[in-house]
Amino acid sequence: MNQPQEKKTLHNTINYALIGLFFGFIFPIAATLFDISLQNLPLTFPNVLKVQSMNPLHWIIDTAPVFLGLFSALAGYLKDQVVNVNRELEEIIAKRTESIERKNQLLKQEIDHRKEAELELVKAKEQAEAGANAKTRFLSTMSHEIRTPLNAIIGMTGLLNDGSLSSEQREFVKIIDKSGENLLGIINNILEYAKIDSGVAVLEEVEFSITGLLDDVIEIISTNNLKEQVELSYKVDETIPSVLIGDSARIRQVLVHLVRNAIKFTEEGLITILVEPGQMDESSLELDIKVKDTGIGIPKENQEGLFKYFSQVDSSNTRKYGGTGLGLAICKKLVEMLGGEISLESEVGVGSTFHFNIVVKKTMNSTGENDIIAKDRIVESTKRLSPSEGRTDININMPVKKLKILLAEDNDINQKVIGKMLARLGQSCDVAGNGIEALEMCQLIPYDLIFMDMKMPEMDGVEATVELLSLEPKLKKTPVIVAMTANAMDEDRKKCLDAGMNDFLAKPVKLEELEAMMQKWFKAES
């Protein structure tokens, strides 16, 4: 209880007691005087005593008010105490209410603040996504715009090489062809780098076998590029599960580049790809991959910088071997995306070993049965290739029967290039300048094969494919549809295949690729 309240309670209690005492005196005095006057006695002390002693009620009347006064004082005191406790409680409640309200206010402010922050985050995310989308659009447009004229340059150069040229002219053509190829390599690398750097590239998770992946690498590289005195082989540790989950396309991309470099810089000896298991737990496994060569080697002082952009050991090598110095920087980015690191050991004149590790997931049946199978076949896991081997599935000179071909392509130069290439391969084609024309022509003529450009006016190739396949019951024949497009990014390939196209050729298209594509789809019928 606070001080003024205590004083007030004491004050009240004294008042109650005084009132009680006052009545305690007034009542007996009044009763005695009343009694004396009733009996008509003079007011003397003996008479007072007489009246008092005569009537026992006087004792009660004399003492009761005193008690009543005291009781009322006590009751008053208690009542005051209750009032005080109530007041104190009310004060406490008021204070608590005030503090809760204050806290509520703070909480509300905090919630408002968080909501604002959330909104800002959403806005920033939307801006980042819009930025990433703009970058993707820019990259794909740039790729498209550069590849379209390159298709004509590389395609026409391929056509020029027909034996009627003098050796000097043949040399000129070779230079144009090589420069076109280099330019394409540079564009591919720059686009790839920009894609990874802008965060547009996303990792995929697919099931793959490491030996299958290594076979792909060798097929892509084409061992025709191997020099006579160089042998390429791979060895996969037998304890590695036969099926793994990871971004096989990215792993392949890194390996293809490292093996290409090894081939480029090795005049004789061995190029070996070694795959060994690193750390593993129940669900994931680290793969330790080495690409070893017995090539020219890299001086110590140049080794560190090689994983930076546009870095090459020396410019005379660049002239001799070509390249942009972007490849290893891209490999480093890709390996980091795959959860690992890349490093290099090399000695001049002895050779180089590029070593990288990546994390892949195991499948449900990665342990047990598959491991036993893997141990039983200690794919087979070692493979050797000499220059004459490789690419056995593609026989460039094998004849393909005369096909009914439609070329859906809006660019007149590319119409001419592809038309001439097909003529060189003993084929001819009809031409549609856009998707609508292609649809109309397909309903009239039973085409075996359509080469479908993606970006065309009126109706693009993807839309035309979807429309065409919806008309399938009405068509006399369902054609094989191969995308032939300067939109060469992975998403473009996926878009085409998702729309129902059977295959994909990125521009610039080479004569051999065109023929290999026809062999692939029409070999059995030839």
DSSP classification of residue 1: -
We find the least distance from the C-beta atom of residue 248 to ligand ADP, in angstroms, to be 21
Please, which residue, 161 or 353, has the CB nearer to ligand ADP? 353
We find the least distance from the C-beta atom of residue 337 to ligand ADP, in angstroms, to be 17
We find the least distance from the C-beta atom of residue 298 to ligand ADP, in angstroms, to be 5
Residue 125 CB burial class (10 angstroms; 0-12, 13-18, ≥19): exposed
Please, which residue, 193 or 447, has the CB nearer to ligand ADP? 193
Q: How many residues are listed for the chain in this entry?
A: 526
Question: What type of residue is 235?
Answer: K
DSSP classification of residue 226: S
We find the least distance from the C-beta atom of residue 250 to ligand ADP, in angstroms, to be 16
Please, which residue, 295 or 435, has the CB nearer to ligand ADP? 295
We find the least distance from the C-beta atom of residue 262 to ligand ADP, in angstroms, to be 5
DSSP, residue by residue, 47-102: HHHHHHHH-THHHHHHHHHHHHHHHHHHHHHHHHHHHHHHHHHHHHHHHHHHHHHH
Contacts of residue 287, defined as CB under 8 A and 6 or more positions apart, other chains included, come to 210, 240, 244, 275, 276, 277, 278, 357, 358, 359, 360
Q: Are strands 405-408 and 429-432 parallel, antiparallel or unpaired?
A: parallel
Please, which residue, 151 or 312, has the CB nearer to ligand ADP? 312
Secondary structure class of 317 (helix, strand, coil): helix
Please, which residue, 259 or 499, has the CB nearer to ligand ADP? 259
Please, which residue, 325 or 500, has the CB nearer to ligand ADP? 325
We find the least distance from the C-beta atom of residue 300 to ligand ADP, in angstroms, to be 13
C-alpha 140/C-alpha 484 separation (Å) is: 15
| Residues at the site binding ligand ADP, with contacts judged by CB under 6 A | 261-262, 265, 293, 295-296, 298, 306, 311-313, 317-318, 323-328, 352
Secondary structure class of 202 (helix, strand, coil): coil
Secondary structure class of 446 (helix, strand, coil): coil
C-alpha 310/C-alpha 190 separation (Å) is: 10
Closest CA to 431 of 444, 454, 450: 450
Q: Taking a C-beta distance cutoff of 8 angstroms, is the pair 450, 477 a contact?
A: no
We find the least distance from the C-beta atom of residue 223 to ligand ADP, in angstroms, to be 17
Taking the alpha carbons at both ends of the chain, their separation in whole angstroms is: 109
Please, which residue, 272 or 366, has the CB nearer to ligand ADP? 272
We find the least distance from the C-beta atom of residue 224 to ligand ADP, in angstroms, to be 19
Secondary structure class of 367 (helix, strand, coil): coil
Please, which residue, 305 or 399, has the CB nearer to ligand ADP? 305
Closest CA to 384 of 242, 273, 222: 273
Which tokens hold the place of 390? 């490789």
Please, which residue, 74 or 187, has the CB nearer to ligand ADP? 187
Q: Are strands 342-347 and 351-362 parallel, antiparallel or unpaired?
A: antiparallel
We find the least distance from the C-beta atom of residue 383 to ligand ADP, in angstroms, to be 20
Please, which residue, 259 or 456, has the CB nearer to ligand ADP? 259
Which tokens hold the place of 161? 């090489």
Q: Which residue is nearest to ligand ADP (CB)?
A: 323
We find the least distance from the C-beta atom of residue 326 to ligand ADP, in angstroms, to be 5
